[in-house]
Amino acid sequence: MILETRGVMKSYGGPPVVREVSLAVREGEFFSILGPSGAGKTTLLRLLAGFEQPDRGEILLQGRPMAGVPPSRRPVNTVFQSYALFPHMTAEENIGFGPLMQGLPRDERRRRIDELADILRLDGLRNRRPAQLSGGEQQRVAIARALVNRPAVLLLDEPMAALDEQLRQSMTAELKRIQQRVGITFICVTHHQAEALALSDRLAVMEQGRLVQVGTPEEVYEAPASRVVAEFLGRSNMLAGLVRLIGPDRGELAVPRLNLAVGIPSRDLVNLSDGQDATLVLRSELVLVRNEGPHVESEAGVPVVVDQVDYAGTHWRYRLRLDGGVFWQAMVSNGNGHKRFSVGDRVYACWHRDDGFLLPE
Amino acid sequence: MHDCRSSGASRWCYAGSLLWGLLAVGLPLLIVLAISFATRETYGWIRWDFSLANYRDLLHPLYVTIVWRSCAMAAAVTGICLLVGFPFAYVMARSSPRWQSFWLMMVLIPLWANFLVRTYAWIFILRTDGLLNTWLMQMGLIGEPITFLYTPWAVLIGLVYGYLPFMVLPVYASLEQVNPVLEEAARDLYASWWDLFIRLLVPLTVPGIIAGSVLVFVASLGSYLTPDLLGGARTMMMGNLLQHEFLVVRDWPLGSAFSIVLLLLVMVALWGYRRVTSAAGPQEFIR
């Protein structure tokens, strides 16, 4: 483990911003900390960088405890959210600042700057000041300025937040390429789930100062550990009900309020007991919108009314109203002869039973 | 009220302020310039002829010494104000908003009191049986009282005290514009405190430092009251010499020539300020 935290707590006088965070990051990993704003992600990153000291718990970097070690003595460097480039220095002077402060000899500094300028494709921009660089160029300089010091861990605070949507997508691929090329452990804080899913080897979801789930993107996306994670990660649909076990491998979720019962995925049955409260979670891209209800055993479905239809290029986005004021969302791929429904149509929202996911309350 | 932005009235407003400027600034200055080329007659009358004699007289070693002393004193005051004012402004700029307004009040309140009164207070502190000597003797640090008052040191202290706010305020305004994240970035990149100041904060606050320095330098150069009250006759500066020539000796032509020289020195300082700030481009320094 290149970085470990054990029961780290931090508060600024009020309720804790970071609570009992225990985390282990492997060497060479692209690790993301994902969560809504105000979840304590940035504070956690500042604790790792050394700008803040934890109230309790410890942080180990390469096995060494970091209590009381200032940022300048830690084998980590940070890419700040607003990049924090020095405005009076050229791109090259910015990149060379760390090596200069470390007192590296001139040749070594030059070699490292050349190397990073090559990796980040900065040739031609080296003598420009930050004000003369675009947002994406500034970001590349900021990454180079941190990587040039060859840290054990690179910390990135919302690296894409200041970029527009198109640049964000190309920089996501670029960031992955850079990380693979330099082989340094990246820890990236973000509230942008698509970015975290695309980039990370593993990710942690943070909510109200706690880590609520850690795993690979597939694990976290496909098997969210809680409603909060499910809500945050995907446009997931929820349905709360009561578990009713019918046979050894059959069960259903009863929703008395809607006078409805839907089949429970068989893999979830082992974790559930009869009469338990549970929530069905279903990702919006797995919902089938059609005229007929479920026609085979392996399917489930509920009657809905089309409330809103949006065209989103690659797919249609439906807002569906269930009885009792519950709304679902369905993303239906724009192809395969999909017939478009209109607002007010009475249809069925169906899904393969095993695509649903049951979370005990 | 006239709205100066509307087209017809704007010309009149402009003409009005131009006229006022000419009357209040241009005309007196022209009179001083004219007198500086005239000659003194007995009883202080002025004979209107043209001669450069006054300017030649200024080359007298006594006057040159006074000009030199004034410049050196102004430079020393500026340097000390910068050394004391910069860290103070830094602490101010990085305090919480409540503390910022507190410090700002602390800087501004003395400016509301009369300068003469504040300078008299320094006499009470600095004189042989004053506060400072009493305190030093009670502490057992000195056996005999030290003469502070009526020395160049007293003038230096008085001027630094009087003009420190003029350094603190512009430097504070500049420092406040520097994003604190930049300091974190520098610390993350292994900068020591010294590097942080020299390589980051000072370059980023050049406009404020220069503005403060010019204000303090110009004000010190022309100071009259402080050297007069705290320096005694031995620490005469340009301001005192001017007063002496005009009111005591009643040699208006020489005094006028001296005023023109003082004015030129100030203009050189301001010109240097313009050059440095426009070359640096103040906008570039922000954030």
- Give the pLDDT score at A233: 81
Contact residues, B window 197-256, toward A, CB-based 8 Å cutoff: 199-200, 203-204
State the sign of the Cα–Cα–Cα–Cα dihedral B96, B97, B103, B107. Answer: positive
Residue of B nearest to A129 (CA): B284
B190 interaction partners in chain A (CB closer than 8 Å)? 72, 98, 101-102, 149
- Give the pLDDT score at A222: 82
pLDDT digits (tens, 9 = 90+) for A284-294: 888 989 888 88
Is B41's Cβ below 8 Å from some Cβ in A?
no
B287 interaction partners in chain A (CB closer than 8 Å)? 87
Complex ipTM over 0.85: no
B204 interaction partners in chain A (CB closer than 8 Å)? 87-88
Is A147's Cβ below 8 Å from some Cβ in B?
no
pLDDT for residue B72 is more than 50: yes
- Give the pLDDT score at A276: 87
pLDDT for residue B113 is more than 90: no
Give the mean model confidence (pLDDT) for residues B214-238: 86
Of A51, A86, A102, the CB nearest to B190: A102
For residue B85, the number of C-alpha atoms closer than 13 Å in the C-beta half-sphere is 33
The reply to whether residue B185 touches residue A80, judged by beta carbons under 8 angstroms, is yes
- Give the pLDDT score at A203: 94
Cβ-contact A77, A98 below 8 angstroms:
yes
The reply to whether residue A101 touches residue B195, judged by beta carbons under 8 angstroms, is yes
Token pair for A66: 């970091």
Q: What is the DSSP string of A294-308?
A: --STTEEEEEEEEEE
Q: Residue B183 is which amino acid?
A: E
Q: Which of B174, B179, B182, B189 to mutate against chain A (most A CBs within 10 Å)?
A: B189
Residue A236, beta-bridge partner list = A283
A149 interaction partners in chain B (CB closer than 8 Å)? 189-190
Is A12's Cβ below 8 Å from some Cβ in B?
no
Task: Write the secondary structure of A88-135 as one string of H (helix), E (strand) and C (coil).
Answer: CCCHHHHHHHHHHHCCCCHHHHHHHHHHHHHHCCCCCCCCCCHHHCCH
- Give the pLDDT score at B41: 82
Distance between CA atoms of A328 and A159, rounded to whole angstroms?
32
pLDDT for residue B280 is more than 70: no
The reply to whether residue A97 touches residue B188, judged by beta carbons under 8 angstroms, is no
- Lookup result for tokens 């994003």: B179
The reply to whether residue B189 touches residue A51, judged by beta carbons under 8 angstroms, is no
Distance between CA atoms of A79 and A145, rounded to whole angstroms?
8
Cβ-contact A77, B277 below 8 angstroms:
no
Q: What proportion of chain A, given as a percentage, has pLDDT over 70?
A: 99
Is B84's Cβ below 8 Å from some Cβ in A?
no
Contact residues, A window 81-110, toward B, CB-based 8 Å cutoff: 82, 84-88, 97-98, 101-102
Give the mean model confidence (pLDDT) for residues A256-285: 83
Confidence of residue A167 (pLDDT cuts 50, 70, 90): confident
Give the mean model confidence (pLDDT) for residues A141-169: 91
- Give the pLDDT score at A358: 84
- Give the pLDDT score at B283: 44
B189: nearest Cα among A48, A284, A150: A150
Q: Residue A152 is which amino acid?
A: A
Is A51's Cβ below 8 Å from some Cβ in B?
yes
SS3 A182: helix
- Give the pLDDT score at B194: 92
State the sign of the Cα–Cα–Cα–Cα dihedral B280, B284, B286, B287. Answer: negative
Alpha carbon distances (Å) from A295 to A305, A357, B198, B248, B267: 19, 20, 76, 115, 93
Cβ-contact A21, A210 below 8 angstroms:
yes
Q: Which of B96, B177, B188, B209 to mutate against chain A (most A CBs within 10 Å)?
A: B188
Confidence of residue B6 (pLDDT cuts 50, 70, 90): low
Alpha carbon distances (Å) from A134 to A91, A213, A356: 12, 36, 44
pLDDT for residue B5 is more than 70: no
Q: Residue A295 is which amino acid?
A: H
- Give the pLDDT score at B282: 43
Q: Residue A183 is which amino acid?
A: G
Of B181, B190, B287, the CB nearest to A80: B181
Alpha carbon distances (Å) from A240 to A253, A256, A280, A297, A357: 8, 10, 6, 21, 12
Q: Where are the alpha helices (DSSP H) in chain B?
A: 7-21, 27-36, 53-57, 61-93, 97-112, 115-126, 131-138, 152-177, 180-188, 193-195, 202-204, 206-221, 225-226, 238-243, 252-280, 282-285
Cβ-contact A143, A137 below 8 angstroms:
no
Cβ-contact A155, A45 below 8 angstroms:
yes
Buried b / exposed e across B16-25, counting CB within 10 Å, b at 16+? eeeeeeeeee
pLDDT digits (tens, 9 = 90+) for B57-70: 888 998 899 889 89
B184 interaction partners in chain A (CB closer than 8 Å)? 51, 71, 78, 80, 84
Q: Residue B67: phi, psi to the nearest 5?
A: -60, -45
pLDDT for residue B265 is more than 90: no
Residue B175, beta-bridge partner list = none
Give the mean model confidence (pLDDT) for residues A183-195: 91
Residue of A nearest to B182 (CA): A84
Token pair for B210: 């220069």
pLDDT for residue A173 is more than 80: yes
The reply to whether residue A86 touches residue B286, judged by beta carbons under 8 angstroms, is no
Is A49's Cβ below 8 Å from some Cβ in B?
yes
A265: nearest Cα among A360, A355, A348: A355
pLDDT digits (tens, 9 = 90+) for A79-90: 999 999 999 999
B86: nearest Cα among B198, B172, B204, B15: B172
How many Cβ pairs within 8 Å bridge chains A and B?
62
Q: What proportion of chain B, given as a percentage, has pLDDT over 90?
A: 38
pLDDT digits (tens, 9 = 90+) for A327-354: 899 988 877 666 788 899 999 999 988 8
Element (H, E) at A197: helix A193-199
Strand order, beta sheet including A153-157: A76-79, A153-157, A185-190, A30-34, A202-207, A210-215
